């Protein structure tokens, strides 16, 4: 099997926690690597963001990243990317045109921008389109942080088009599947629930004291936040809660992103206004190895987001033996077992967050160790191998259903199938359509 993966707005090679890079980047890269280990060839198409980007990068045997030139390399906001979808699509189609007909078996698009490109590629190549939304505009707009900008109507329209056109839809949780049905009238028989995974060989428990020394952190109760610095992720909620918890250190690891770019020093000013600057440590986005140290160094990891389709940070932290306090939104109730591997907070009230964090930090060592061990066991159920098992089942189902649909179309009207499938018949005879 050969899969064309589309990730227009962010590269799987980008450092998570910077710009628009986050859990989706990790998902795209890790699923590609694990698919390749099963003998599946994966080519990932993403937009080049630097003139120094090589056109093609071999990440591992069986995994290529193609950096497609579409628009200016730098300074192009994600919300301006729809203007470059034509150029990006042309780059994708030209890359495929250098191969023999039928080179790709399936297209897997990530995020709605990629879905727009995948829709055209599917019709041109006569292969099924599998789409993963990762987030939905309607869901984000229904739970905005105060003062945060809503997602534009253009995105909501584009998402509906992709939902209508995709042959199969991949979601992270049952809750996300219900949202697709209720908000976009998706056909539930075309939806597959595939939980994301975690690298269980990298994210493992370790020595908390050694991790703190490596990061230069004092030996005191510590709560960590890992992710992009933007209102959606709600790091301000954590700081406001910390102001009510004397003696607790907060570690913020990440960089400004999205609407957070409008005030990149906003958290610094908030910490100063709250009078807690001396016990807040700001770290830049971390490499995987250093991220493990952040998780191990913390007594708790907080995920106070207003919206999360899943929450990879929560699972990574638990894999390191660190309990998680998370907002009870989106996929986080799946990622965290309330009262077992951490705690779920029903809202974003700093008083409630302070109470939950204080309760977890105030538990005796035996109870905290028990919760840490439970966190490791819970995280172990989210391996990338399990994710890829489910993805492959979805791919096979998509290919079989697509073939069956077009065989029936050909039976009814011999000319309908090739018209619908990008003139596949003529291409099989060596004619470029």
Residue 29: burial class (beta carbons within 10 Å; 0-12, 13-18, 19+): buried
Consult the annotation and say whether 61 binds a ligand: no
Q: Please give the angle made by the CA atoms of 167, 168 and 173, to the nearest 5 degrees.
A: 160
CA distance 99 to 96: 6
Consult the annotation and say whether 286 binds a ligand: yes
Of the candidates 8, 311, 313, the one whose C-alpha atom is nearest the C-alpha of residue 131 is 8
Consult the annotation and say whether 375 binds a ligand: no
Consult the annotation and say whether 100 binds a ligand: no
- For β-strands 63-68 and 56-60, DSSP reports them as antiparallel
Consult the annotation and say whether 211 binds a ligand: no
User: DSSP readout, 332-379?
Assistant: HHHHS-BTTTEEEESS--HHHHHHHHHHHHTS-HHHHHHHHHHHHHHH
Instruction: Compute how many other C-beta atoms are within 10 angstroms of the C-beta atom of residue 202.
Output: 13
Consult the annotation and say whether 322 binds a ligand: yes
Consult the annotation and say whether 1 binds a ligand: no
Consult the annotation and say whether 16 binds a ligand: yes
Consult the annotation and say whether 22 binds a ligand: yes
Query: Is the distance from CB of 21 to CB of 59 less than 8 angstroms?
Result: no
Beta bridge partners of 343: 325
The secondary structure of the chain in percent helix, strand, coil, rounded to multiples of 5, reads: 50, 15, 35
CA distance 147 to 131: 31
Consult the annotation and say whether 9 binds a ligand: yes
Instruction: Identify the DSSP state of 150.
Output: P
Of the candidates 84, 50, 90, the one whose C-alpha atom is nearest the C-alpha of residue 67 is 50
Consult the annotation and say whether 159 binds a ligand: no
Consult the annotation and say whether 115 binds a ligand: no
Consult the annotation and say whether 155 binds a ligand: yes
Encoded tokens for 67: 């950096």
Consult the annotation and say whether 308 binds a ligand: yes
Consult the annotation and say whether 152 binds a ligand: no
Consult the annotation and say whether 15 binds a ligand: yes
Consult the annotation and say whether 110 binds a ligand: no
Consult the annotation and say whether 293 binds a ligand: no
Consult the annotation and say whether 414 binds a ligand: no
Consult the annotation and say whether 21 binds a ligand: yes
Binding residue numbers: 9, 15-16, 20-25, 78, 111, 135, 155, 228, 233, 286, 295-296, 298, 308, 316, 322
Output the known binding site for 1D-myo-inositol 3-phosphate.
9, 20-25, 78, 111, 135, 155
Binding-site entries for Mg(2+): 295-296, 298, 322
**Which residues are annotated as part of the binding site for UDP-N-acetyl-alpha-D-glucosamine?**
15-16, 23, 228, 233, 286, 308, 316
């Amino acid at each position: 099997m050969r899969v064309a993966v589309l990730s227009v707005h962010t590269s799987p090679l980008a450092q998570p926690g910077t710009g628009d890079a986050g859990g989706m980047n990790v998902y795209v890269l890790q699923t590609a690597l694990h698919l390749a280990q099963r003998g599946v060839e994966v080519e990932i198409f993403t937009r080049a963001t630097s003139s120094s980007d090589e056109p093609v990068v071999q990440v591992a045997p069986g995994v290529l990243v193609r950096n497609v030139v579409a628009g200016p390399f730098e300074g192009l906001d994600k919300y301006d990317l729809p203007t470059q979808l034509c150029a990006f699509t042309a780059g994708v189609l030209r890359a495929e045109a250098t191969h023999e007909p039928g080179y790709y078996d399936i297209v897997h698009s990530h995020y709605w921008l990629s879905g727009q490109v995948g829709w055209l590629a599917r019709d041109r190549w006569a292969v099924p389109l599998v789409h993963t939304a990762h987030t939905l505009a309607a869901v984000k707009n229904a739970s905005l942080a105060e003062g945060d900008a809503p997602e534009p109507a253009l995105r909501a329209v584009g998402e509906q088009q992709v939902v209508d056109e995709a042959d199969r839809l991949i979601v992270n949780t049952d809750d996300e599947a219900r949202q697709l049905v209720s908000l976009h009238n998706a056909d539930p028989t075309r939806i597959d629930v595939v939980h994301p995974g975690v690298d269980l060989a990298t994210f493992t428990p370790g020595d908390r004291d050694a991790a703190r020394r490596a990061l230069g952190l004092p030996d005191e109760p510590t709560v960590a936040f890992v992710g992009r610095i933007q209102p959606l992720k709600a790091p301000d909620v954590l700081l406001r809660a910390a102001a009510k918890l004397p003696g607790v250190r907060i570690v913020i690891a990440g960089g400004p992103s999205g609407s957070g770019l409008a005030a990149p020093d906003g958290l610094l000013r908030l910490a100063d206004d709250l009078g807690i600057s001396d016990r807040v440590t700001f770290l830049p986005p971390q490499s995987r190895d250093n991220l493990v140290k952040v998780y191990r160094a913390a007594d708790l990891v907080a995920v106070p987001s207003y919206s999360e389709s899943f929450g990879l940070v929560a699972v990574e932290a638990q894999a390191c033996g660190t309990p998680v306090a998370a907002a009870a939104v989106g996929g986080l109730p799946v990622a965290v077992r309330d009262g077992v591997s951490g705690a779920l907070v029903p809202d974003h009230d700093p008083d409630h967050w302070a109470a939950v964090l204080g309760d977890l930090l105030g538990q005796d060592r035996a109870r905290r160790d028990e919760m840490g061990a439970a966190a490791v066991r819970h995280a172990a159920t989210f391996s990338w191998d399990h994710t890829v098992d489910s993805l492959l089942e979805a791919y096979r189902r998509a290919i079989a259903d697509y073939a069956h649909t077009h065989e029936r179309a050909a039976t009814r009207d011999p000319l309908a199938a090739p018209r619908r499938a990008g003139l596949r018949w003529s291409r099989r005879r060596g004619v470029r359509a």
